[in-house]
């Protein structure tokens, strides 16, 4: 845009000349008034505005993102919308998951299909969104006094690594006698795999597990397994067969870093004594898995973990995001 010149001629014969000069830098204007240059720099946003209306001074301060502070004649009102301004789904914030299973929506805003359930009364099956889990639609569909079993736990990562079980007697349970099975301080729905049920889900696509995060609970049986490869049982994330101290045992994952409830795992604590807890494994060697739960055909992976509410697998080291991931999961389930 070319410069603009404005000349004002006065009745007394005098005149004033104004030059509006457009600079290469967006938002900067130089104005020449009678040979003197005045610079107006608006490259930075106007974060504070003052309005005078009917004698009242109103100041609007938007210096902090998502926060609006209104001062009316010395009285300050603050509207804090930082949570809304920074709202992202789990998988938008912590990208790159190779598989992600949960009964909450990890991918969007409640419209993600998260689970397929079979009800005991007539063996009918139906898919449910995260919003239909939380608003009671799933439980109502299963019906009072009926049980609900998981036929598919959908992978929300977008990689198609759904976890399925078509054999009814091996399906994990989500509803018992018309009510959700729940775990954790927040009493969120959980999927029961262990105990007499010993359910398991086969994972298509064989996602690579380098980092693993899970909200889960163990019972007190030998060799409880969270994930494994049924082709040779290595790798497997399990507990050992010591009745007095069933500690975590990670076979085939190299020497990963392991957290329990946000702190470094001591390597010896009895997992069954932890109750509902948060497992965070990073910097593993990266191995393919094809099952959530045990592989009873060999016996070396024993039983499945009692219950799992969430399981997120990455094929990369998530050490840098570990704290944020663990805080997010803990906030959802009130674990520690």
The predicted structure's pLDDT at residue 84: 43
Domain 90-333, what architecture? Answer: Sandwich (2.60)
- CB within 8 A of 42, min separation 6: which ones? 27, 28, 29
From CA 205, how far away is CA 71, in angstroms rounded? 57
Tell me the sheet residues that pair with 213. Answer: 280, 312
pLDDT exceeds 70 at position 36: no
Tokens of 202: 């086969």
* 29: confidence class by pLDDT, cuts 50, 70, 90: low
The H or E element spanning position 75 is: strand 75-80
Percent of the chain at pLDDT exceeding 90: 55
Dump pLDDT digits (tens) for 211-263. 999 999 988 777 788 999 988 878 889 888 776 678 998 889 999 999 999 99
Q: Which residue has the higher pLDDT, 71 or 331?
A: 331
Domain with CATH 2.60.120 in the chain: 90-333
Full-model pTM: 0.74
CA proximity to 262, closest of 205, 311, 204, 215: 215
Other beta carbons within 10 Å of 243? 10
Dump pLDDT digits (tens) for 282-304. 988 999 999 999 876 555 556 88
Q: How far is CA 113 from CA 18, 101, 148, 181, in A?
A: 64, 11, 17, 19
The predicted structure's pLDDT at residue 77: 74
Dump pLDDT digits (tens) for 113-131. 999 999 999 999 999 999 9
The predicted structure's pLDDT at residue 13: 77
- CB within 8 A of 187, min separation 6: which ones? none
| Cα angle, residue 46 at apex, residues 44 and 47 outer, rounded to 5° | 105
Residues in the chain: 336
Tokens of 258: 């392991």
The predicted structure's pLDDT at residue 198: 78
pLDDT exceeds 90 at position 145: yes
pLDDT exceeds 50 at position 86: no
């Amino acid at each position: 845009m070319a410069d603009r010149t404005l000349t004002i001629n006065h009745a007394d014969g005098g005149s004033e000349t104004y030059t509006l000069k457009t600079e290469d830098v967006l938002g900067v204007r130089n104005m020449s008034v009678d040979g003197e240059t005045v610079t107006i720099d608006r490259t930075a946003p106007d974060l504070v505005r003052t309005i005078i209306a009917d004698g009242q001074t109103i100041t609007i301060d938007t210096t902090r993102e998502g926060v609006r502070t209104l001062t009316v004649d010395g009285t300050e009102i603050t509207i804090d919308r930082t949570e809304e301004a920074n709202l992202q789904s789990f998988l938008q914030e912590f990208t790159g998951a190779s598989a992600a299973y949960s009964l909450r929506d990890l991918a969007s805003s409640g419209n993600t299909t998260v689970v397929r359930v079979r009800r005991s009364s007539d063996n009918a099956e139906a898919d449910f969104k995260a919003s239909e889990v939380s608003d009671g639609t799933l439980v109502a569909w299963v019906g009072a006094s009926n049980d609900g079993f998981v036929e598919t736990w959908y992978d929300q990562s977008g990689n198609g690594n759904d976890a399925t079980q078509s054999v009814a007697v091996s399906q994990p349970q989500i509803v018992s006698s018309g009510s959700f099975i729940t775990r954790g301080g927040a009493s969120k729905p959980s999927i029961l795999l262990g105990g007499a049920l010993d359910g398991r889900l086969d994972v298509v696509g064989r996602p690579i597990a380098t980092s693993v995060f899970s909200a889960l609970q163990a019972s007190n049986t030998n060799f409880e397994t969270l994930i494994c490869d049924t082709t040779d049982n290595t790798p497997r994330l399990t507990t050992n067969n010591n009745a007095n101290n069933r500690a975590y045992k990670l076979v085939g994952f190299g020497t990963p870093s392991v957290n329990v409830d946000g702190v470094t795992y001591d390597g010896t604590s009895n997992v069954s004594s932890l109750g509902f807890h948060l497992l965070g494994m990073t910097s593993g060697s990266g191995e393919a898995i094809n099952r959530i739960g045990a592989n009873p055909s060999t016996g070396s992976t024993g039983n499945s973990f009692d219950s799992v509410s969430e399981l997120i697998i990455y094929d990369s080291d998530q050490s840098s995001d570990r704290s944020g991931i663990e805080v997010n999961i803990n906030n959802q389930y009130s674990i520690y």
